[in-house]
Amino acid sequence: MWGWLGSLSQQSANASFPYKIGEERTSLSEKSIWKLHGGQKQADGTEVSIFIFDKTGATEDQVKLARASFFRLKTLRHPCILRYIDGVELDTKICVATEAVVPLVDYLEEQKATLSSNKLCSMISWGIHQIAVRHRYA
């Protein structure tokens, strides 16, 4: 089932990255160099999100972008920015654990049936505001 994770040997994955990797959220698959998975911290079962970048078949520019993103996320602390928890760079992958998240596209799709269009517009506006606040900080 997780054949593409084959290069992460069970022993090195447990030693270097102590998280159980769950199902991929496919809504972002074609929109990012990162694959987003649900996950859990093995020590206490805390829910996390795991971003995985597969270096195999990636261009040099994509690898540089993934490394820069990994480094930048580790060093930023702000309420409007995703909270970094842990990460590791292996020979063929970069794995990053963050606070548990749901992509906005997925969340809005889930809420569409129960919320009015006015409420959905308010949620989208709030999201855009948070992005603007983050850019003011940067």
pLDDT at 36: 95
CA gap 108, 51 in Å, rounded: 21
Q: Centre a 10 Å sphere on the Cβ of residue 45 and count the other Cβ atoms it contains.
A: 8
Beta bridge partners of 39: 21, 48
Question: Which of 105-111's residues contact partners 24+ apart within 8 Å by CB, and which partners?
Answer: 105/27, 105/28, 106/25, 106/27, 109/27
Give whole-number Cα distances, 7 to 14, 124, 125, 128, 134, in Å: 13, 39, 41, 38, 36
Q: What is the pLDDT of residues 88-106, one digit of tens each?
A: 999 999 999 999 998 888 8
CB of 93 within 8 A of CB of 66? Answer: no
Positions in the chain short of pLDDT 70: 1-15, 134-138
Superfamily grouping for domain 3-101:
Phosphorylase Kinase; domain 1 (3.30.200.20)
pTM of the predicted structure, to 2 decimals: 0.79
